[in-house]
Structure 1
């Protein structure tokens, strides 16, 4: 769809450090930001075999088992198929990346990593197989994924247990980094934690970020999120880069898909300039 005639720029000198206007996903409960919460949740969800046994023996009823299975198969916000129109061009583009071509990192992948659910059209990668790195800090989640997905001739899977606030990868080592709902979960413990996760994503990527969030830039809360989280997380003070950002919003509101491209800033006598160039598009 054609871009909406709505653009904005955020300058380093104009960005405020005040983040009090950004509301948390859940102001009363920060469970979604805790490793212990997700480890417990995934420990139950990932062990469906035991759940079936418990159901037969009467320890777990049919309704409870149904909830566990649906949790395992649940897509947050959008399915991989729904994200395909925005994701496919990025996958095609990174095949020519000089650093680690065809490699994608998903932050906070959960039980259902985006790229394992895609029904992609044929994408011709020049030589190497498509490399999917999936990161989550919940050990039961990583254990489940390792059992469920095996590498093939055209796809290799690597599952990493790590905190998204401290990604164990080199800077600019992955051409595409994606997340779906992770920032929304982390922000329940505070804006600073969400900013730190985004800074790590920005550090690791060499070209693109894809962020899927319930915040919508066309709302006051979403506008605050863009300034307080996106603006701070992609801040490049003295870094020599700027970001082209496209906020893809639905006609009826709802979740937003943010695609960010990392660009090298040309050296000029004027050291200023915008850090973010933001465009809003209907999706």
Structure 2
């Protein structure tokens, strides 16, 4: 997998760091279907309206990020990104890559010079004003494109898809465009029937307008999906792959299968969004991106190329002491990089005879 440099951008707000477990000894059986069935039943009981207090791992807890925190990344993947964000950076020529890196370095220098001024501008904003609303795309029909279909893997009891649906419905109220002309469906699934039963019951108690967009909750196994190839414009996963890795025997193989199915069912020019505590800015995360993510993408669809953006914390080095020149892998592992968001785009090959290529670039917050 080719690793490419990229300029640094700011992503707000800062994440709430939360790993599924802190050590192998205390890690529950997150890779077991029975574990999730029992947990959802215990957390909710017979009354979905009375959940336990939201604590890590309990009912209603949102792992890593909430939808509101991820919205600036997710919404453009559904409604369309800026051309600059979707530029073709999968060049096969080394000279072009070197020129691109030089340009990026120049941009980084210029950007660093503007950081102080940007900070002052933020402080001058009116207190309580939500600046992110000015950055969100507007609800509009995509010329020549069918309405988008969205799929969420292992949605749990706090689905990203539900947050997306609610935000889109709010945007529809301020637009003269019908939402279903833009987004056809949002499917959220989990392999825990108890979880899906809870979500469906909650949904049935909510008042919704006739023919309005609503989430379709289903029970599926992410390793073998009942959908045709190249169906969805966006496939999302937040923490499912991490949970599967708790199974030390079959976890890695299951993760490759899940990524493969996500890649297979993703439409051309569509996106897979993955949130993981494995951050490719360090050695462990980069190995995961190569061994599981890249392998799964190629396995699911090799008649294309893949572009991976890694949105994560690129921790700065602190070398105040001259004796710290000899760094080890332990130094890298001891740093808290926090969770990362991977945005994988399926793109057409420049030459159909070429093998499937996976490129990666890093964007920091």
With the length of structure 2 as denominator, give the TM-score of the two structures. 0.61
Distance 2:145 2:233 in 1: 7
Does the alignment pair 1:136 with 2:197? no
Following superposition, the deviation at residue 183 of structure 1 comes to 0.5
> For the Cα contact (< 8 Å) 1:100–1:175, is it kept in 2?
no
What's the CA shift string for 1:48-78, capped at 9, x where partnerless?
A: 63896xxxxxxxxxxx943689822211100
Distance 2:349 2:197 in 1: 41
- Pick one of 4, 7, 13 that aligns with 1:4: 7
Task: Please identify, of 203-212 and 38-47, the stretch whose mean Cα deviation from structure 2 is larger.
Answer: 38-47
What's the CA shift string for 1:132-162, capped at 9, x where partnerless?
A: 1011011110100111125644322211111
- Pick one of 328, 335, 343 that aligns with 1:259: 343
- Pick one of 221, 230, 233 that aligns with 2:293: 230
Equivalent residues, number? 251
Higher strand content, 1 or 2? 1
Asked which structure has the greater CA Rg, the reply is: 2
- Pick one of 74, 83, 86 that aligns with 2:61: 74
> For the Cα contact (< 8 Å) 2:237–2:273, is it kept in 1?
yes
- Name the CA shift for 1:165/1:215 in 2 (closer, same or farther; >3 Å): same
Matches within 5 A, 1:240-259: 240-251=303-314, 253-259=337-343
- Name the CA shift for 1:25/1:279 in 2 (closer, same or farther; >3 Å): farther
Following superposition, the deviation at residue 93 of structure 1 comes to 2.6
> For the Cα contact (< 8 Å) 1:137–1:163, is it kept in 2?
yes
> For the Cα contact (< 8 Å) 2:48–2:202, is it kept in 1?
no
Counterpart position of 1:194: 255
> For the Cα contact (< 8 Å) 2:260–2:301, is it kept in 1?
no
| Structure 2 counterpart SS, 1:218 | coil
Counterpart position of 1:102: 148
Distance 1:32 1:108 in 2: 12
> For the Cα contact (< 8 Å) 1:106–1:179, is it kept in 2?
yes
Distance 1:181 1:254 in 2: 13
Counterpart position of 1:111: 157
- Name the CA shift for 1:86/1:105 in 2 (closer, same or farther; >3 Å): same
Distance 1:237 1:134 in 2: 20
Tell me which of the two structures has the higher relative contact order, counting C-alpha pairs closer than 8 angstroms and 6 or more residues apart.
1
Counterpart position of 2:359: 277
Counterpart position of 2:33: 35
Counterpart position of 1:92: 79
Counterpart position of 1:155: 213
> For the Cα contact (< 8 Å) 2:308–2:342, is it kept in 1?
yes
